[in-house]
A and B are shown apart, each in its own frame.
Chain A
Amino acid sequence: MAQFKPVNVLFSDRFMDHDTGGGDHPESPKRLTSILRSLQSGPLKDQIRIIEPAQADKDLILSVHPKDYLMRFEEACLSGRETFGHSDNRICYETFEVALLAAGACKQAVDLAEESNGEVTISLVRPPGHHAEKGMPLGFCFLNNVSLAAKYWQKRYNRQKIFILDFDAHHGNGIQEIFDEDPSVFYASIHEHPTFSFPGTGYEDETGTGSGEGFTLNVALPPGATDSLVLKALKERIEPALEKFEPDCLVVAAGFDGHEADDMSGLAYSTGLFGHIGSFLAVWAQRYCQDRIISILEGGYNPDFLGPSVEMYLGGLAVEI
């Protein structure tokens, strides 16, 4: 029987307080309920350690987002507006504070990865982050959690080379924009082709600009793509890039909306694929960065399949190699 490493889960009930208005908005608190239910009842249940995060301080947020953007975001929430920047981006009075807490959970994940001895760490946060650009909310995202974690890792622990893998069904335009010209952060994304999918970015010829040229890798999959294309991309595109880059740490933008039962994308992944992705990452983390790896929740919108998918992913990451 497989042995699993301890799994640190940064989670707060406060993440449920980001109210997206109910109705048909896909980014709902039910997502986290589904994940917790799976983790606390499945084979990982004895390994799970839930940790309450603390809010990120503003200085950390300012390492990615400009002050005027933060002020506009806070003002939008406090003034009772229901959306920020676009009708997709539903907010409530609590959203700003909850987003700071989510960013704090990602910062704390970095601390845990540094302090623990090869334990698995995931931040199960809402709102998600990878579409948020420096000065623009997009696609349900306000603060770019993954980018904040990467910046924090560099600044606090002097780990300069960060490799970000984003396997959400949608391209992480925000992460790409933030590090587009930065050769110290490699951004790799596997997503549905931008012609057919939000946010319309992530073409394969987007490879970084200026001194960041060659430090962005986009793998755009056709609608209907199944596990085999992802596994091929991991082996033949991502792994060589990782090997060449020689990162100090790995940050994973973990999105599960490529699942075949998730109608937010046209991709058709099985639940089992996420276990394989976890296994790849576990091997890479050990081989290239002395197990310094954190995962941060992005998308995944079908509550019936999100929980099992995250569980499968963490199982792949946590299995003793």
Chain B
Amino acid sequence: MFVTSYMTKTPITVSTDTLIPAAREILKKNGFRHLPVTGPDGKILGMVTDRDIRSAYPSSVLDETEKKQILDKVKAMPVSSIMSTELSCLNLRSTIDDALISLDKQNIGALPVVDDSSKVIGIFSIRDLMKAYGELFGLYEKGSALVSVENETSDTMSKALKVLEARAIPFTRVIKATHPVEDGKMQEVIHIRVQTMNLPSVKEALKDAGLKLL
């Protein structure tokens, strides 16, 4: 549940005086888009993204003279001149929910993760977030499928789980959720990720216990 389990640990960082072309090369070579900028003590000072770098380079619509002028200027510019400094960071105690909220609100692709002294210890991207939630919901679990029952009464969940336990049917995830259905109504559902190919037997057992399958 904590970002530290899913982040890229000890990410590549650059110092404030790193020149823009060098930063661009690092991003290109490693195939990522976010580069934390740190001080000599490893503390976070800013973030530079491939978008920041692209914006610094001359537009393709400019004429050759103008392009060259800007290009010469960019070649000598340090990343400190284009990095974002109004940063929101994740920390050792940040959950993947915290990360989702921050990434969503700020509409950005990755956040640095820092320790209590603001030293960069990782970077957490939207891709890491998807992987974390995928694992949380058992998405990559081979040999499993989702079975859903309507949550009709307060003991529906315990009934369903007792049925599975009594038949020694392995299950790995149980999620209670509310979904919108037709006419603006909401429906309470319990999703269970079971690990068996014999789904008819699972469904039969749940039905026999009086549960409504969806």
Contact = CB atoms under 8 A, between A and B. Distances in A.
Interface of A: 24-26, 86-88, 131, 138-140, 170, 173, 194-201, 263-264
Contact of A198 (B145, B201, B203, B204): B145
Contact of B146 (A138, A195, A263): A195
A138 B145 contact: no
Nearest to A140: B197
Given A87-B170, A139-B143, A199 B200 contact: no
A199 B146 CA distance: 10
Contact of A197 (B140, B145, B170, B201): B145
B196 interface: yes
A88 B200 contact: no
Contacts of A26: 198, 200-201
Nearest to B137: A195
A196 B204 CA distance: 16
Contacts of A138: 142-143, 197
B192 to A, nearest CB: 13
Interface in B101-142: 138-142
A234 B116 CA distance: 57
A131 B196 CA distance: 12
Given A87-B168, A200-B144, 8 more contacts: A86-B196, A87-B169, A88-B196, A131-B197, A194-B145, A196-B145, A198-B145, A199-B142
13 contacts: A86-B196, A87-B168, A87-B169, A131-B197, A138-B142, A139-B143, A198-B144, A198-B145, A199-B144, A200-B142, A200-B144, A264-B198, A264-B200
B190 to A, nearest CB: 16
Nearest to A195: B146
A242 B169 CA distance: 40
A225 to B, nearest CB: 16
A72 B198 CA distance: 24
B138 to A, nearest CB: 8
B195 interface: yes
B199 interface: yes
B134 to A, nearest CB: 11
A15 B69 CA distance: 79
B197 A139 contact: yes
A24 B202 CA distance: 11
Nearest to B146: A195
Closest 10 CB pairs of A and B: A139-B197, A263-B200, A198-B197, A200-B144, A199-B143, A198-B145, A88-B197, A24-B201, A138-B143, A88-B196
Contacts of A88: 196-198
A198 B143 CA distance: 6
Interface of B: 138-146, 168-170, 195-201, 203-204
A199 B141 CA distance: 8
- The B contact surface, by secondary structure, is loop
Contacts, number: 61
Nearest to A136: B142
B172 to A, nearest CB: 11
Contacts of A197: 145, 199
Contacts of B142: 138, 173, 199-201
Scoring B169, B170, B195 by chain A CB atoms within 10 A of each residue's CB, the highest score goes to B195
Contacts of A201: 142
A195 B143 CA distance: 11
A192 B97 CA distance: 31
Scoring A24, A200, A264 by chain B CB atoms within 10 A of each residue's CB, the highest score goes to A200
A129 B144 CA distance: 17
A200 B197 contact: no
A14 to B, nearest CB: 24
Scoring B138, B196, B197, B199 by chain A CB atoms within 10 A of each residue's CB, the highest score goes to B197
Contact of B197 (A24, A194, A195, A199): A199
A197 B197 CA distance: 8
Contacts of A140: 197
Nearest to B167: A87
Scoring A88, A139, A140, A173 by chain B CB atoms within 10 A of each residue's CB, the highest score goes to A88
A170 B199 CA distance: 12
Contacts of B169: 87
A164 B142 CA distance: 21
Scoring B138, B139, B170, B201 by chain A CB atoms within 10 A of each residue's CB, the highest score goes to B201
A200 B199 CA distance: 12
A122 B70 CA distance: 70
Contact of A200 (B143, B168, B201, B203): B143
B195 A86 contact: yes
B164 to A, nearest CB: 12
A24 B198 contact: yes
Contacts of A173: 142
A199 B142 CA distance: 6
A87 B196 contact: yes
Contacts of B204: 24
A50 B81 CA distance: 79
